[in-house]
């Protein structure tokens, strides 16, 4: 009995029971932060529309009453949407978004408005944009918060949004960018790394891995459409992927119950060697990536000059549409 490895007692039976025990224990968290994020995003969008004031906006520009120049859903009054030819997503004007904190490379670099790297993740271009992101946030975020708590998931969400903004600014320098997509991709990246680092405790792990990879690839494929900021998606995903290794490793089976184990049974360290290794490598890569990204950004580096093929990451020209090559 002395020196016996607690993980090997009972063989496969322990692995399955530990997996279910982990699931049951972690679901004890009550999700409140993700719902608060959803409420905050909706509230910010209402403020966007209130300040946008489409009827006044249209009147001040001296436009006529052509159908294409009229606000959409005019019964909302000042909350009505910009004409669809300006914003097909049913939202405010680009000038309103820029005024409220949209990601704008020129203002970040030349006007020292670095706060836009964070403020942009709370803004949305329209109702369609908002609904799509909030549904995704609810479906992905609530489950993660129930399993890992609000602190770790909140950190992943915010830092992933920030990481997405950095990468976006290095490439998208001629138009504004808004939305929580980078933060959402960060949660998907964290789900993937959490599955990898805690591989041994899960059942049906291959199916879960393939499902998650398909979801990520489909969403990234959508990013090659014009006017979709795929760099924010990729930056957020990579940030969340690294943060998952740092914040979401689960202790080995028997660690939390080590004080109740019979004398003579050896309990290993809290985490497995590969978890420590992934934690260290991910921390180094994350700090290095953020540092290099911020230095390049505030020096005004244009990412396309160092990676010519990267333009196809965000938009692939076809016979149906063209991409802005600048």
- For the stretch 157-193, pLDDT in tens is 999 999 999 999 999 988 999 999 999 999 999 999 9
| pLDDT given for residue 39 in this prediction | 97
Which are the catalytic amino acids? Answer: 181, 233
Which tokens belong to 241?
A: 């992927």
Which tokens belong to 306?
A: 């160092």
Confidence tier at 261 by pLDDT (50, 70, 90)? low
- Convert 64-74 to b/e letters by CB count within 10 Å (16 or more is b): eeeeeebbbee
| pLDDT given for residue 218 in this prediction | 84
Which tokens belong to 120?
A: 């942009």
Which one, of 187, 182, 185, lies nearest residue 142 by Cα?
187
- Convert 240-262 to b/e letters by CB count within 10 Å (16 or more is b): bbbbbbbbbbbbbbbeeeeeeee
| pLDDT given for residue 216 in this prediction | 86
| pLDDT given for residue 257 in this prediction | 64
The radius of gyration of the chain's CA atoms, rounded to the nearest angstrom, is: 23
More confident residue, 1 or 234: 234
137-151, 174-188, 192-206: range with lowest mean pLDDT: 192-206
pLDDT at 98 over 70: yes
More confident residue, 83 or 1: 83
pLDDT at 21 over 50: no
Cα separation, 259 vs 132, in Å, equals 47
| pLDDT given for residue 326 in this prediction | 46
Cα separation, 137 vs 42, in Å, equals 12
**Exposed, middle or buried by CB within 10 Å (0-12, 13-18, 19+), for 49?**
buried
> Tens digits of per-residue pLDDT, 66-95?
556 789 989 999 999 999 888 889 999 999
| pLDDT given for residue 5 in this prediction | 42
Cα separation, 237 vs 241, in Å, equals 6
Cα separation, 205 vs 235, in Å, equals 26
pLDDT at 17 over 70: no
pLDDT at 16 over 50: no
Which one, of 89, 121, 76, 320, lies nearest residue 233 by Cα?
121
Domains annotated on the chain, with CATH: 4-314 (1.20.1540.10)
Confidence tier at 201 by pLDDT (50, 70, 90)? confident
Distances (CA, A) of 308 to 103, 132, 176, 303, 325: 23, 31, 21, 8, 10
Residue range 17-25: mean pLDDT, rounded: 46
pLDDT at 315 over 80: no
pLDDT at 104 over 60: yes
| pLDDT given for residue 259 in this prediction | 65
Cα separation, 306 vs 293, in Å, equals 13
More confident residue, 67 or 96: 96
Residues 44, 49, 54: CA angle, nearest 5 degrees: 165
Mean pLDDT rounded to a whole number for the chain: 85
């Amino acid at each position: 009995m002395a020196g016996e490895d607690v993980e090997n007692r009972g063989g496969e039976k322990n692995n399955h029971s530990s997996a279910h025990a982990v699931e049951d224990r972690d679901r004890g968290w009550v999700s409140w932060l993700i719902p608060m994020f959803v409420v905050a995003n909706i509230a910010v969008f209402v403020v966007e529309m209130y300040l946008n004031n489409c009827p006044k906006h249209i009147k001040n520009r001296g436009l006529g009453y052509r159908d294409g120049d009229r606000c959409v859903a005019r019964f909302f009054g000042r909350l009505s949407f910009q004409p669809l030819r300006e914003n097909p997503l049913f939202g405010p004007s680009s000038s309103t978004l820029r005024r409220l904190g949209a990601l704008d490379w020129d203002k970040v670099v030349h006007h020292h408005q670095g706060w836009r790297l964070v403020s942009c993740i709370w803004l949305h271009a329209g109702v369609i944009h908002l609904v799509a992101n909030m549904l995704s946030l609810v479906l992905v975020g609530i489950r993660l918060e129930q399993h890992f708590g609000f602190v770790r998931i909140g950190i992943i969400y915010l830092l992933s949004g920030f990481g997405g903004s950095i990468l976006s600014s290095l490439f998208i320098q001629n138009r504004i960018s808004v939305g929580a997509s980078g933060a959402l991709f960060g949660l998907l990246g964290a789900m993937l790394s959490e599955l990898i680092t805690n591989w041994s405790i899960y059942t049906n792990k291959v199916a879960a891995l393939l499902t998650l990879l398909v979801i990520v690839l489909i969403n990234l494929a959508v990013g090659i459409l014009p006017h979709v900021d795929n760099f924010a998606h990729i930056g957020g995903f990579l940030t969340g992927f690294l943060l998952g290794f740092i914040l979401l490793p689960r202790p080995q089976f028997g660690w939390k119950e080590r004080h109740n184990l019979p004398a003579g049974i050896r309990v290993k360290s809290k985490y497995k060697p590969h978890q420590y290794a992934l934690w260290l490598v991910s921390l180094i890569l994350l700090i290095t990536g953020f540092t290099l990204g911020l230095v390049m950004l505030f020096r005004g580096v244009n990412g396309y000059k160092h990676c010519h093929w990267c333009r196809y990451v965000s938009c692939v020209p076809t016979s149906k549409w063209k991409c802005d090559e600048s």
